[in-house]
Amino acid sequence: MVTIGRGIVCECAGASACPDGSSNGTCSTQPGGYCFVAVEEVLDDAGLVVLERTAGCLPPDESGFMQCKSSQVPHQHPKVIECCEKDLCNRHLRPQLAEPPPSVPETPALLPTQAGPPVALVAVALGVALVAFLAAFWLLLRKRRGGCKRPPSPPAPAPLVDASSGSGSGLPLLVQRTVAKQIQMVESIGKGRYGEVWLARWRGEKVAVKVFFTTEEASWFRETEIYQTVLMRHENILGFIAADIKGTGSWTQMLLITDYHENGSLHDHLQAVVLDPPGLMAMAYSIVSGLAHLHMDIFGTKGKPAIAHRDIKSKNILVKRNGQCAIADFGLAVRYVAERHEVDIAPNTRVGTRRYMPPEVLDERLDVANFEAFKMADMYSLGLVLWEMCRRCATGDKAQYVEPYALPYHEWVPPDPSFEDMHAVVVQKGVRPPVPARWMGAEPLATLTTLMAECWHANPPVRLTALRVKKTLAKYHSDPAAKLV
C-alpha cells in the first residue's frame, strides 16, 4: 500500500504516551495527526496531589480530534489538553488547569519579565484561540445534530454500555486508557506464540487481558485495528473492551482487554465434554454466523469492510456460557478496501497455523491480491473445525457412540507439523480427515459431513461461502429468533 502525505514529529513524554515506553523522546503521527500536551492532577505514592504532564501523538481520525477537545467537559480529576499540527510544536505548549491547586503559587505567572511578548502578539494569539474554539464548538454541535453519539471521556466511571462509542467497536480511546489503568490481574489462564492471557477484574467484572510479547507488536496493532472497525461487534465475535500500551524505560506491555468466557477455547471444551446434536448445531451455527459477519461488506456512510480471519482453528474460538461460540484472535486478519479495490494486509511476520492451512497456502499459490482467496482459505479451516466438533457428538441408542477428541490430520503428521509435513499430506497425497460411517447415518452429522467436504475441497472456488453454510445450518438451528442477513 502507498502512504500519501507525511505525519508530523512530536515530543513524547510520560511512560504511557511514548510508543517505545521511554520516559521522553519523539514519536511520529500518521498523516493528518496531532501533537498534544496534557496536564492532569494525580495522586503520588505519598497520597499528595501533583501535576502530571504527558506529551505525544494522536491519530488523524475523529478519535484524535475528540481527545483534543476533551478539556471542554468536566473530568473526575482536573485535566487539560492542548494540540497542535507542526513538527515538535508541542514542546512549546503549556496547558494550564482552570483552577490550579492551592499549592501552586500563581504570583510568578503575573510578574513581568524582561523577555515578555509584545501586547499585540498576545492579542492576536487570544483572537486566534477564540476563533478556533468557536469553530470547534460549531463542528461538535453539527456532528451531534447529524446523529454522531460518540462522547468524549466521561466525567466519572459509568457502566460499560453507557460508555460505549455507539459504533459497535468498543470504548472511546481516552476511556480505553483509563480502563487499562483500572485493570487488576488475577491469574494467568493461557499462553501462546503471541504472549499470555490473564483473567483480570475491572469494576468487579471478570475480563480477559491478552498481554503480547514485545516482538508481537504488529499482531497487537492489527488486532486492535480490526476490533476498532465500525460495526464489528457481533454476538459471535469476541467482545472488545479496550487496548493500551503501558511500560517504563525497561519494559513494555501491550494489552488487549476483551470479554471473559469461563469455558475457554473450543479446543479445550471438546476434550472435556460430549456434545448432543442440538448442542453441536448451536455451536456450528454460531461459529459460521460470526464468520459470515466478518466476511460481509456493509455499505454506508461508515460501513464495515469485509474481513478475512486467516487463522481459523478450534483454539481461536471461545465457548460462551449459553453454548454458542465467539471467534477471537485477529492478529493476522486482512481487510478489503472496496473504495480502492485493495486488500489491506498488515506487515506481520506471523503466519497461520500450519495444521489448518489450505492447499493453496501450503503450495504458495494463494493470490494475495484477490480478497476472495482469503475468504475461501477461511472456509477450508472451518471445515476442519466442524470435523473436530462432529467427533465429539454422540449418536445411537443412549448416545453411546462418540470418538475421542483429536486434531485434524493427527494420524499423518506430528504434534507440531512443519510446512513440509503438511504439504506432503494435504497437497501431494490429497488426504482429508476420515469420516466415520456412523456420521452418514445420523442427522445432523450427515449434513455437516457434506458441508465440511465442500469446505475443504482442493479447488478454492468450489468451496461454499460462509453465508451459504449459515443458511443450510439454519434449518437445524433450534432458536426460532435466528434470522439470516
State whether 251 and 269 are in the same domain.
no
Last residue of a domain, one of 239, 259, 279: 259
Q: Spell out the alpha helix ranges (H) of 392-444.
A: 419-422, 437-440
Give me the number of domains the chain comprises: 3
H-helix or E-strand spanning residue 102? none
State whether 254 and 268 are in the same domain.
no
* Pair 192, 212: CB distance under 8 Å: no
CATH code: domain of residue 62:
2.10.60.10
In a domain, 141, yes or no: no
State whether 353 and 315 are in the same domain.
yes
Last residue of a domain, one of 205, 237, 259: 259
pLDDT by position in tens, the chain (length 485):
444 567 888 888 876 677 766 567 888 888 888 898 988 888 777 778 888 888 888 888 766 777 787 766 666 677 888 999 888 898 888 888 876 545 545 444 444 444 455 677 878 888 888 888 888 877 777 766 554 433 333 333 333 333 344 344 566 666 777 777 888 999 999 888 788 999 999 988 999 999 998 888 888 999 999 998 878 889 999 999 999 887 766 677 899 999 999 999 999 999 999 999 999 999 999 999 999 999 999 887 677 899 999 999 999 999 999 999 999 999 899 999 888 889 998 776 677 899 999 999 999 999 999 999 999 999 999 999 999 999 999 987 766 789 999 999 999 999 999 999 999 999 999 999 999 999 998 889 999 999 999 999 999 999 999 999 999 999 887 654 333 33
If one counts every other C-beta atom within 10 angstroms of the C-beta of residue 23, the result is: 12
| pLDDT in the model for residue 75 | 63
Paired with 69 in beta bridges are: none
In a domain, 114, yes or no: no
Nearest to 261, CA basis, from 231, 286, 243: 286
Residue environment code for 80-102, b if the CB has 16+ CB neighbours within 10 A, otherwise e: bbbbbeebebbeebebeeeeeee
| pLDDT in the model for residue 4 | 57
Nearest to 407, CA basis, from 381, 424, 428, 387: 387
H-helix or E-strand spanning residue 281? helix 277-295
Q: Which amino acid is at 83?
A: C
In a domain, 163, yes or no: no
Nearest to 466, CA basis, from 396, 383, 404, 362: 383
State whether 252 and 270 are in the same domain.
no
State whether 254 and 295 are in the same domain.
no
State whether 236 and 292 are in the same domain.
no
State whether 253 and 278 are in the same domain.
no
Paired with 199 in beta bridges are: 187, 208
| pLDDT in the model for residue 481 | 39
State whether 363 and 453 are in the same domain.
yes
In a domain, 435, yes or no: yes
343-356 pLDDT, tens digit each: 998 776 677 899 99
CATH code: domain of residue 288:
1.10.510.10
* Pair 442, 397: CB distance under 8 Å: no
State whether 375 and 232 are in the same domain.
no
H-helix or E-strand spanning residue 13? strand 9-13
Was 181 annotated as part of a binding site?
no
What does 231-279 look like in DSSP terms, one character per residue? Answer: T---TTBPPEEEEEEEE-SS-EEEEEEEE--TT-BHHHHHHH--B-HHH
- For residue 295, the SS3 value is helix
Domain, as residue range, for 410? 264-475
What does 129-164 look like in DSSP terms, one character per residue? Answer: HHHHHHHHHHHHHHHHHTT-----S-SS---HHHH-
* Pair 140, 133: CB distance under 8 Å: no
State whether 248 and 282 are in the same domain.
no
The pTM for the full model equals 0.65
For the question of residue 311 being annotated catalytic, the response is yes
Q: Which of 311, 344, 363, 421 is catalytic?
A: 311
In a domain, 120, yes or no: no
State whether 232 and 307 are in the same domain.
no
Nearest to 293, CA basis, from 333, 323, 320, 350: 333
State whether 294 and 371 are in the same domain.
yes
Q: In angstroms, rounded to a whole number, what is the distance separating the alpha carbons of residues 5 and 206?
A: 43
The answer for residues whose C-beta is within 8 angstroms of residue 300's C-beta and 6 or more apart is none
| pLDDT in the model for residue 447 | 95
Last residue of a domain, one of 223, 244, 259: 259
In a domain, 326, yes or no: yes
Instruction: Give, in degrees to the nearest 5, the angle at Cα 237 between 236 and 238.
Output: 120
CATH code: domain of residue 255:
3.30.200.20
In a domain, 115, yes or no: no
In the chain, % of residues over pLDDT 70: 81
Read off the C-alpha cell for 383. Answer: 471445515
Reduced DSSP (H G I as helix, E B as strand, rest coil) percent helix, strand, coil of the chain, to 5: 35, 20, 45
In a domain, 102, yes or no: no
Q: In angstroms, rounded to a whole number, what is the distance separating the alpha carbons of residues 178 and 461?
A: 46
